[in-house]
Amino acid sequence: MSGQNAGRREFLRAAGGLGAFTILNSRLVRGSAANSAVRVGLLGCGRRGGTDAANILQHTDARLVALADLFQGQVDQAKQRFDKVSESKGYAKVGQTFVGPQACRELMESKEVDAVVIATPAYFHPEHLEAAVAARKHVYLEKPVAVDVAGAKRVYESGKKADGKIDIEVGLQVRSAPPFQELVRRIHEGDLGEIAAAEAHYYSPAPEHREWPGASGQTLRLRNWIEDRVLSGDIIVEQNIHVLDICNWVLKGHPVKAVGRGGTNGRGGPGDDCYSHFDVVFVYAGDVHLSFNSTQFGQGPFEASERFFGTRGASQSPYNGPLGIVGEKAWTWEGTDNLAQADAEKTKTFIDCLTTGAYNNQAASGAEASLTAILGRQAAYSGREVTWEEMLRGNEHWDAGIDVSKVG
């Protein structure tokens, strides 16, 4: 029994969760033949939701049949876009649209929808996942699954209620990229030897700030939710989670504690209260230290990568550039765009699971990734060491103070 695996089980018991990644066989979608077209609804018609829907239409035989969003303009733009795409493939246009505070409920109640893509502001993910599971809809849930500890625990409970009859995928698509899959396979087979230390970083320019004439208060916060730390979870949870999830994958578990710093130098426009940078040291089982840092401000270059240092060699895994291992078991992936197939493979897996009935349940692994990022955020915000157990006991809960019934 490795310390890493024991730590994972301890985490799952403490959080009240289920296994981190379970493949479950069950009935086929709608009880139909395996080649039936899956009918998908999109909740959250912004940029990421639009990308997810486009990938599903491009890489699978699923149909996009419904759109839902708080804002009419978002739905109108998405419908115009996806009607054209659907028609180009010989499919019917999007048949249902739902707008306003009841859009989520109405989408979940639709008998024309088999599966939903949830791409709303991260703050609402636990609530919207609960609604999907209650409605027995299969789910592609964007990352992060939650912005606080209490929300992550809600996601665990939703995963338990899925009970093998609902597929829950989480949008941590880097795990679906073939270069990363091959690298991690080699690492787990011992090509690096014993891993002693690791480094990861995520450097990004500032997100585009969008002007919304006439919008103010709650409406403006929701329009620019990516710049709102409560709605997004801050940059370490909303964006940096991707590289932290890869570190958990390689190291076969979550960190046991973290210490960090961060700040807002370089950003802080109107309504923007997110950090511009984080510097965190995560400690994993076996006293393996991960030195992590990130930036999200200005107009600098985009760069994300992980490096693992072992007794037989070292690895590097950038999003773009040479990916591989140096040392006794030297190996390099042919190609440099290491995420080229990530989205396609992720969405194909989602739809394939629905048509075969071999359902995934990634609620627990998605919550573990979110909690890893939250641990780093708590350490940086507090300026002191925070342990995994302390974080879970604290049960951090954030209240955005938003009443969506009054937003329009």
CB-based contact 178:345 (threshold 8 Å): yes
Give me the average pLDDT of each 10-residue run along the chain (408 residues). Answer: 39 40 35 66 97 97 98 97 96 97 98 98 98 98 98 97 94 98 98 98 94 92 97 98 98 98 93 97 98 96 97 98 98 97 98 96 98 98 98 98 88
Beta sheet of 168-170, edge-to-edge order: 22-25, 358-361, 168-170, 138-141, 115-118, 39-43, 63-69, 96-99
Counting Cβ atoms within 10 Å, is residue 221 exposed (0-12), middle (13-18) or buried (19+)? buried
> Which distant-in-sequence residues (6+ apart) come within 8 Å of 254 by Cβ?
7, 8, 11, 248, 284, 368, 371, 372, 375, 388
pLDDT, position 24: 30
DSSP 246-311: HHHHHHTS--SEEEEEEE-TT---TT----SEEEEEEEEGGGEEEEEEEEE-TT---EEEEEEEES
- Residue 136 gets the label, from left (phi > 0), alpha (psi -120 to 50) or beta, of left
Asked if residues 221 and 246 have their Cβ atoms less than 8 Å apart, the reply is no
d(CA 329, CA 310): 11
From CA 230, how far away is CA 371, in angstroms rounded? 15
What's the pLDDT at 300? 87
| CATH topology match: 3-174+345-361 vs 175-339+371-394 | no
Per-residue pLDDT at 268: 84
Question: Under CATH, which number does the domain 3-174+345-361 receive?
Answer: 3.40.50.720
The SS3 assignment for 174 reads: helix
Q: What is the pLDDT of residue 406?
A: 86
For residue 68, with 0-12 CB atoms within 10 Å meaning exposed, 13-18 middle and 19 or more buried, which class applies? Answer: buried
CA distance linking residue 200 with residue 293, whole number of Å: 7
What is residue 315's predicted lDDT score, i.e. its pLDDT? 98
Name the residue ranges covered by the structural domains of the chain: 3-174+345-361, 175-339+371-394
Q: Which CATH class is domain 175-339+371-394?
A: alpha beta
- The confidence score (pLDDT) of residue 169 equals 98
Report strand pairing: 324-327 vs 331-332: antiparallel
Q: How many CA atoms lie within 13 A of 57 on its CB side?
A: 25
Paired tokens of 187:
């690492």
Locus of tokens 């998908």:
40
Say which residues have a Cβ less than 8 Å from residue 358's Cβ, sequence separation at least 6.
Answer: 23, 24, 25
pLDDT at residue 408, rounded to an integer:
67
